[in-house]
Amino acid sequence: MLSKTKNGKMASSKRNPLNRETLLTHLGRRPDEQHGLVNTPVSRASTILFPDLETLQERSQPYLYGRTGNPSSRSVEEIVTALEGGKGTRLTPSGLSALSCALTSVLSSGDDVLVTDSAYEPTRKFCDTFLTRMGVSVRYYDPRIGKGISSLLKPHTRAILVESPGSLTFEIQDLPAISSARGQGDIAIIADNTWATPLFYKPLELGADIVVHAGTKMFVGHSDASLGTITANEKYWHQLHETHYQFGLCAAADDCFLAARGLRTLAIRMGEHRPRALEVARWLENHELVKRVLHPALATHPDHALFARDFSGSGSLFSFAIPRAPQAALAALFDGMNLFGIGYSWGGYESLILPVDLSENRTVTAPDKDEQLIRIHIGFEDIEDLKDDLDAGLRRYRSAMG
């Protein structure tokens, strides 16, 4: 049984903590503070008024200024903090700004950061340009390095960025091994957990200190808003909170509303995305033109054992490899797609397809030059219709290969 305490917080009469589906349904709502409205309304606000001088000087009301927190941002922060099991969460206007804020919150001039070679491409650009310009040494490592990362550590290494599975190539990282290899020093592990969501992967429990999400993807879930979330553990919460404040970062109330609404159905959507993406992945594995499928929940994936150990489910997004062919063949495949949309991002109800080009964003791992990688997001269309669309595309590709 759930009961509401005076301040609207959830209390459970059971001794067990509430399960994630229940948290997704109930957290971040304060009907008693908003005339009984079930959903936290959009709080468009810069100025927030104080009743008197003392309240202003003591800062003794929940919200002080629109940018630093309002009911809309709090609704999302509460849910994400509970799901990730962190000390607190801050919101940013995009996943990328969440990553740059997390990195700058732990790095100073003269420090060294180790970044997975499979990092999201704009994260990599941020490291190579901004961080480098600020005097941080940036080095990349093989996502499959595991405990071997100990040989790369330098006295001034202050952060390790992990992303598991990796963007575009879907390597799984041995986060517990990386965490124990860093020893007792002050090295922060920052994890991009966008793919699995906290429903299927819990980086803070496996040794990470800060978890970042492109809420744009699965949290919002409908391709109509951008949002980033950063959740820190006790050790890094203060400096994250300070850096976030100093940058003046905040998310628009309307986008917070859409993320809170999306989170209500996250478990249901992930529960649908998971078997659908897997079914298409297995079907592609048996397709005559497909060389390999990069989906960590497949038994054939080289990191499947690690995946099975650390993840409790898989997401909507994966890649597959076909033999490389001239541009005209790729155009024949893409331009004739009927259901799969050609576009960036992912996480919505609609299926998407994107060609993968690794030439600009891998320096430690060597992409196979005979392969053409294609990344797909599996949405909620009928699965047989999606397979037909892909099959027709692959046939066009083969005919145009010459």
Ligand X SMILES: *Cc1c(COP(=O)(O)O)cnc(C)c1O
Cβ distance to ligand X smaller for residue 136 or 259:
259
Q: Does 226 bind ligand X (CB under 6 A)?
A: yes
Q: Does 101 bind ligand X (CB under 6 A)?
A: no
Cβ distance to ligand X smaller for residue 157 or 229:
229
C-alpha triplet 123, 379, 324: angle, nearest 5°? 65
Of residues 364 through 393, those in contact with ligand X by CB under 6 A are none
- Using Cβ positions, the residue closest to ligand X within the complex turns out to be 95
Q: Which of 29, 217, 276, 396 is catalytic?
A: 217
Spell out the residues 6+ positions from residue 120 whose beta carbon is closer than 8 angstroms to its own: 95, 96, 99, 163, 167, 192, 194, 214
Cβ distance to ligand X smaller for residue 170 or 237:
170
Q: Which of 4, 30, 67, 398 is catalytic?
A: 67
Is 142 one of the annotated active-site residues of the chain? no
Which of 138, 202, 158, 156 lies closest to 176 in space, CA to CA? 202
End-to-end CA distance of the chain: 65
Interface mask toward ligand X for 324-363; x: CB under 6 A: ---------------------x------------------
Is 369 one of the annotated active-site residues of the chain? no
Q: Does 102 bind ligand X (CB under 6 A)?
A: no
Q: CB–CB of 140/115 below 8 Å?
A: yes
Cβ distance to ligand X smaller for residue 71 or 315:
315
Cβ distance to ligand X smaller for residue 192 or 310:
192
Binding residue for ligand X (CB under 6 A) from 117, 171, 192, 310? Answer: 192
Is 344 one of the annotated active-site residues of the chain? no
Closest CB 94 distance from ligand X, rounded Å: 3
Cβ distance to ligand X smaller for residue 103 or 181:
103
Q: Does 216 bind ligand X (CB under 6 A)?
A: yes
Closest CB 354 distance from ligand X, rounded Å: 11
Q: Does 167 bind ligand X (CB under 6 A)?
A: yes
Q: Which of 29, 90, 111, 120 is catalytic?
A: 120
Q: For residue 221, give the amino acid letter.
A: G
Closest CB 147 distance from ligand X, rounded Å: 24
Q: Which of 111, 112, 174, 192 is catalytic?
A: 192
Is 29 one of the annotated active-site residues of the chain? no
Binding residue for ligand X (CB under 6 A) from 40, 70, 194, 233? Answer: 194
Binding site for ligand X (CB under 6 A): 94-96, 120, 167, 192, 194, 214, 216-217, 226, 228, 345
List the catalytic residues. Answer: 67, 120, 192, 217
